[in-house]
Amino acid sequence: MQESLLEVKNLKTSFSTESGVVTAVDGVTFTVHAGETLGVVGESGCGKSVTAESILQLLNERTTKYEGEINYKGKNILTLNKKQMQQIRGNEIAMIFQDAMTSLNPVFTIGDQITEAITAHMKMGRKEANKKAIDMLSLTGISSPEMRFHEYPYEISGGMRQRAMIAMALVCRPNLLIADEPTTALDVTIQAQILEVINNIKNELNMGIVMITHDLGVIAEVCTHVVVMYLGQVIEDADVESLFSNPAHPYTKGLLQCIPQIDGDRSRQLYTIEGIVPSLDNVPKGCRFSQRCPHSDAKCLNEPPLLEEINDKHKVRCWHYDKI
């Protein structure tokens, strides 16, 4: 097995708020290898984005506490100081944000913003940097990149902005890309194109990708490995085939049943997972999913299960996975 690029070990991110300490990410563990796409899936508020932002330590320094380890190329980046972290961000690990509409600075042209990333991390002349930026733009499949280079974000469409964002993130050729719901704000055709672009560039640069999404279709399309999160915890960790063919956690099963089938029975109502996600400052005592789980019993309500191995490619956090 090849050496891992990113290894998140027992990551715990907590915020101090007015109502006390809230742990948004509680003991998350996963590994990303070079050339591999890891999908992180879960519903809103389950801690996907906080996990992503924890990796780059983008959260408010004064109110956030990180515990555990984030090993990038074997080095724990949680122990780095501000300067060293700046060197990692953008250069080694880059991030694409969810909302391309607001992720570009409105007062600068696309070109200025991309070249800024280059000049911040590499010693390179203006002309050379410009050329590199335009090359990167055309790699993302944007139409007439020379023209877009001199345009302001408000002058181009959402899909183009997302492409510009991708160009900006990838122009320094990072080894790891964190994509935080890169396609949620886009329509399906553009979504497919953007995913293809990300995939192509991944193959070209041999990057590792952490793809954060709530769309299982995206997971099936691009990921090799999947982590399912629920209320700040990893509840299932599997490669993409076994997750879809053989989901072990009742939550994952529920999620998969929620997808409408094009050739399914239309007279039946679509499956829904009952209840709502509990609030983070009122986490259930036992299994975090127990209150909404159709299979839960007294043990589930009282004792929190651990992430257990079903086989070497599949882990699940459930007391009864073998029975259901």
Which residues sit at the interface with another protein, rule CB under 8 A?
56, 58, 62, 85-91, 94-95, 97, 99, 102-108, 116-117, 120-121, 130, 134, 144, 146-147, 149-151, 165, 168-169
CA distances from 32 to 52, 74, 166, 186 (A): 13, 12, 20, 26
113: Cβ contacts below 8 Å, ≥ 6 apart: 104, 105, 164, 168
Beta carbon nearer to another protein, 65 or 131: 131
Beta carbon nearer to another protein, 39 or 90: 90
Beta carbon nearer to another protein, 87 or 302: 87
Min. distance of Cβ 140 from another protein in angstroms?
A: 16
Min. distance of Cβ 130 from another protein in angstroms?
A: 8
Min. distance of Cβ 87 from another protein in angstroms?
A: 7
CA distances from 23 to 50, 210, 228 (A): 10, 21, 18
Distance from the first to the final alpha carbon of the chain: 32
Beta carbon nearer to another protein, 121 or 253: 121
Beta carbon nearer to another protein, 67 or 99: 99
CB 47, CB 231: distance < 8 Å: yes
Record the tokens describing residue 15, joined without a space: 């915020």
Beta carbon nearer to another protein, 121 or 292: 121
* Nearest residue to 216 (alpha-carbon basis) of 47, 37, 41: 41
For the chain, the helix, strand and coil percentages under 3-state DSSP, each to the nearest 5: 35, 25, 40
Min. distance of Cβ 16 from another protein in angstroms?
A: 14
**Look-up of token digits 């999620």:** 255
Beta carbon nearer to another protein, 115 or 233: 115
Q: Position 287: which residue type?
A: C
* Helices H / strands E in the chain, number of each: 11, 12
The torsion defined by the Cα of 257, 260, 262 and 264, in degrees rounded to 10, comes to 50
Min. distance of Cβ 107 from another protein in angstroms?
A: 5
Min. distance of Cβ 65 from another protein in angstroms?
A: 17
Min. distance of Cβ 144 from another protein in angstroms?
A: 5
- What is the gyration radius of the CA atoms in the chain, in angstroms? 21
